[in-house]
Amino acid sequence: MFFYGRSANPFKKGVMLMSMYEVLMVLGSFGTLLIALLALVITLIKNK
């Protein structure tokens, strides 16, 4: 496996790979945000 000056990383040079911990933290944060927004929409619809 020779790359001849190319990196083994298939992504661009400026992209950092995320660890599993960071991926789970981002997924958890977005999941919490979606649940909060869904709860807000449901409360606004019920109050009409």
User: Is the confidence at residue 14, as pLDDT, over 80?
Assistant: no
Q: What is the DSSP string of 3-26?
A: -TT--S--S-TTPPPPPHHHHHHH
User: Greater confidence, 1 or 30?
Assistant: 30
- Provide the strand spans (E) within the chain: none
Q: What is the pLDDT of residues 17-37, one digit of tens each?
A: 789 999 999 999 999 999 999
Rounded to two decimals, the pTM is: 0.60
Distance CA 48, CA 34 (A): 22
User: Is the confidence at residue 6, as pLDDT, over 70?
Assistant: no
